[in-house]
Structure 1
Amino acid sequence: MGGKLHSLTDVLKKTLFFFEELSVAEVVPHVHRRMLRDYTQDQVEEKVLLCLRQNPCFDYNERGLWSLNLEGGRDNDQFYSMLLRKQQPVSVKEVLKTGLGAKNKKKTKPLVSGEASLISDGRFIQLESGLWGLTEWEVEAGQYSLKQLIIKAHKKHPGGLSSQQIFEIVNSWRGTSLKAVDGVLNKFPYFEAIGDGIWAYSPSIQVAYEEMMKRFLSSVNRQREKWQRDRLRWKKKTESMERQVYEVSSAHREVAAALAVRLEEAGQHDYLVTQMAEKDLLLSLRKKEIYRYREHVSRLESKANSILHQCRLWVRRAREAEGEKEKYREALNKNQASLEALFTKLQQYKEKDRENKIRLAELKERSSEKTAELQSEIVDLRQKLEKTVENSNLENKRRLEEISILSNDLKISLEGSEEAKRSLRFVQQELARARSRLSSVEESIKSPLVKGLIKIISFFTGSPKGDIS
């Protein structure tokens, strides 16, 4: 059966099928060599242990060893038989398709229940191509180390084997030499010589040896990491020292160059000092001339300023005179305009005065006419007033007479009302007495004796009860 295995589960199935029983520590090196090479030893051990625990096809015994359960599920027996007949890997999908076609024609049980059931069945393994085969096919002993093959031979013969017997057994699985077998037996302490060239295998010593080797390798790794850290630290120190030496040498070179430049600058400075002295002398002479010219210019400027000041005064006075003239002109124009306006207003007032006089004369005439009319109306009103006064006096006398007549009638009516009140009181008294009598009669009728008499009388007379009452 060619091809690589598909997953970690398949590698574990193949390994445990070949070695029958192994501990996790024994399985991890082989798995690390076959796959998960990018992981550390501890990470590989964690993955292997997780896979062994999760998959039900791996069994764990009391000795701490893992084995492969080859019983499998009954649902996959037909698929197992088919693989035994064909002796080559097949695809589950094709098997399911052919099974469905046959099922449509005739109701039969499918050959396989699915890939999930095959994964949990120790009899089957999956290749990278997706095909499924049997775990027992073509056990590739060449992929296992010589040490593991020797351990397998010892597990098959726990009583012990000679080196020649071990060589023959291992050589049947893969090609090797007797010298290589002796080298492995002498190399590892868990192969013990028990006498007469017989070798025995001690699993407990192997576990202790591998644990010790693991600790030793971890300490070596720690020491190597420490050495690398120290090496890196010393390397950094040497680099820093080299940089410092380079900086010091460059500083020395710069100082030498600076000294040379300074000497050149000193010579140039002396030369420049002499030139500056000569220039200072010339400048002092020039300054004296400039001071003299400046004094002369200042005198001329003062004269020019005085002349300019006088000119400005004359100009200002001329401007002030022109301004006063303008003001007088404006005032004259304003006065003329105001006089013209006053004259026009005076003419208007005169015309209005004439009109008012005419109106006043007209009003006087009208008022005289109205006063005459009012006087005549007053006379008429006086006559009417006298007549109304006479009429009112007559009316008052008539009303007084009527009032006296009405007062007499009122007295008579008051006397009649008093008599009516007395008769009303008498009637009310009679009514009260009648009511008292009625109440006494009703009380006497309500007594049981009277009621009995009334019933007897009504019985003999034949009159109803209501008539007697």
Structure 2
Amino acid sequence: MGGKLNSLTDVLKKTLFFFEALSVAELAPHVQRRMLKDYSLPQVEERVNLCLNQNPCFYKEKENWRLDLEGNKENDQFYSLLLKKGQALNLREILKNANSKKKKAKKILSEEACLISDGRFIQLDNGFWGLTEWEVETSHYSLKNLLIKAMKIHPGGLSIQQLHQLINSWRSTDLKTIEGVLKKLPYFEIAGDGVWSYNPTARVMYEDLLKKFLIIVGRQKSRWHYDRTRWRNMFETMQKNFQEAASGQREAAAALAEKMELAGQHEYLLTQMAEKDLLLSLRKREILRYREHLAKLEAKANSILYQCRLWVKRCKEYQAEAGRLKEILAKNQGNLEGLFTKIQNHKDRDRENKIKISELKELHSTKVAELQTEIVELKQKIERERVSSAVKERKLMDEISILSNDLKKSLQTEEEFKRSYLFAQQELAAAQEGYKRLERYMKNPLVALVLQICSFFSRYSKQPI
């Protein structure tokens, strides 16, 4: 059965199957060795206890836990299938392969949750399922646990050779190591004639004492660590103080030596300063004399320089005036040339204007003659139009008189029509009054009766005889 176990439940199943009954304290080291290596022993015990209580395939008998190998009846067919195959199987692959017998396969194979709560099955990390009884890996268990297992199988006791043969079937060992473990642990007792037996109560007491001893050792170790750190801190502080004192002494000695050196240097400097003061006084006198001489020379040089500057200034002024006059002369020459050219242009324009004026005079005379002829013709046309307009005016006056007579006649006819219209309206009003009067008469019942009789006789008279 290849592959590692998938979960803590599977590790507990394997361990309890091999050892039959173990307490939580005995299970914790096995689990820590197999899975929870990063956890402390109390944390492992807590997780193991939680897993044992949650899973129904484990049951408690007094203080020891056991594995229920009866299992669920629903998983018996899958158990028999694994026994036939002799190797781990995957539920999903079985379901995929069972195409025609899909319903039967679903009935035979239970869910994984049921298999987890069954003590006969374990799950590998690759998802395959196997049996707890297959390939018990005794290499994960210590020699002490294997000896306890062997003595539990044979409670009457076993000799060293018998133990060696039995344990060699699980794991290869030698007699010396077995004998060393038996003599080392007090809960392995010699019953007589080289027969060794296992005392569980002595083991419980031994483990309790060992735990207490370890707790005491841990406390002493923590105290020792605390004292060690405290003494180390004290030593470090004292060492620092000593170093500070030594450094202070060194600094004081260095300061004294430096002070002596500074005093000698001070005296030497004083003597040098006195000598330098004498030299400086002599040099000051020389410098003052040189300064006076330099002042005189500077005054002479300044006067000469001032005169030179005046001459230079005058030369520059003369040069500037000469340049300005040259510029003015050049400008005047340019202006004169421009004036000559302008005068020549004006003369040319005057000639052209005179020619144009003569031409315009000729054109004016011709146009005046033409206009006079046109004026004469227009006067003649005006007289003709006056005559024709007078004739037309007479004709229009005649037409107006005719139209006025026609208008008078039409007005007279219109008045007559109005009068006839008024008479017609009066007659219509009289007819309407008569009609209303007749309607009133017709509303009388006697008149209506007479009219009916008349209408009846008129009908009768109209019928053919």
Instruction: State the TM bucket, normalised to the shorter chain.
Output: 0.5 to 0.7
Instruction: Kindly tell me the number of residue pairs found equivalent between the two proteins.
Output: 419
2:120–2:131 contact (8 Å) kept in structure 1 = no
SS of 1:56's partner is coil
- Deviation of 1:365 after TM superposition, in Å, equals 4.7
Verify: 1:356 aligned to 2:353, yes or no: yes
- Deviation of 1:399 after TM superposition, in Å, equals 1.9
SS of 2:66's partner is strand
Verify: 1:58 aligned to 2:41, yes or no: no
Distance 2:32 2:341 in 1: 134
Match of 1:277 among 265, 270, 274: 274
Verify: 1:92 aligned to 2:91, yes or no: no
Distance 2:302 2:8 in 1: 115
1:125–1:135 contact (8 Å) kept in structure 2 = no
1:17–1:135 contact (8 Å) kept in structure 2 = no
2:5–2:125 contact (8 Å) kept in structure 1 = yes
**Structure 2 match to 1:228:** 225
The 1:438–1:92 alpha-carbon spacing in structure 2 relative to 1, beyond 3 Å, is farther
- Deviation of 1:340 after TM superposition, in Å, equals 3.1
SS of 1:91's partner is coil
Match of 1:317 among 314, 318, 324: 314
SS of 1:59's partner is strand
- Deviation of 1:45 after TM superposition, in Å, equals 1.2
- Deviation of 1:312 after TM superposition, in Å, equals 1.5
Distance 1:293 1:75 in 2: 133
The one-letter amino acid paired with 1:71 is E
The 1:126–1:408 alpha-carbon spacing in structure 2 relative to 1, beyond 3 Å, is closer
How well do the aligned residues superpose, as a CA RMSD in angstroms?
5.6
- Deviation of 1:244 after TM superposition, in Å, equals 3.2
SS of 1:293's partner is helix
**Structure 2 match to 1:70:** 69
The one-letter amino acid paired with 1:144 is N
Match of 2:248 among 251, 260, 269: 251
Q: Given the two structures, how large is their TM-score scaled by the length of structure 1?
A: 0.65
SS of 1:134's partner is coil
Distance 2:105 2:362 in 1: 151
2:82–2:131 contact (8 Å) kept in structure 1 = no
Q: Percent identity?
A: 46
Distance 2:340 2:54 in 1: 134
Verify: 1:378 aligned to 2:375, yes or no: yes
- Deviation of 1:369 after TM superposition, in Å, equals 4.7
Gaps of 5+ in 1: 84-89, 157-165, 187-198, 464-469
**Structure 1 match to 2:195:** none
Q: Given the two structures, how large is their TM-score scaled by the length of structure 2?
A: 0.66
Gaps of 5+ in 2: 165-177, 190-198
2:187–2:202 contact (8 Å) kept in structure 1 = no
The one-letter amino acid paired with 2:77 is D
User: What pairs with 1:2-151 in structure 2 (closer than 5 Å)?
Assistant: 8-9=8-9, 12-13=12-13, 16-17=16-17, 23-25=23-25, 27-28=27-28, 31=31, 36=36, 38-60=38-60, 66-72=65-71, 73-78=75-80, 91-93=87-89, 120-123=117-120, 134=133, 142-144=143-145
Deviations 1:34-72 (A, max 9, x none): 7645432221112212332443321247x6763321212
The 1:410–1:256 alpha-carbon spacing in structure 2 relative to 1, beyond 3 Å, is same
Verify: 1:334 aligned to 2:335, yes or no: no
Deviations 1:96-117 (A, max 9, x none): 999x99x99xxx999x969967
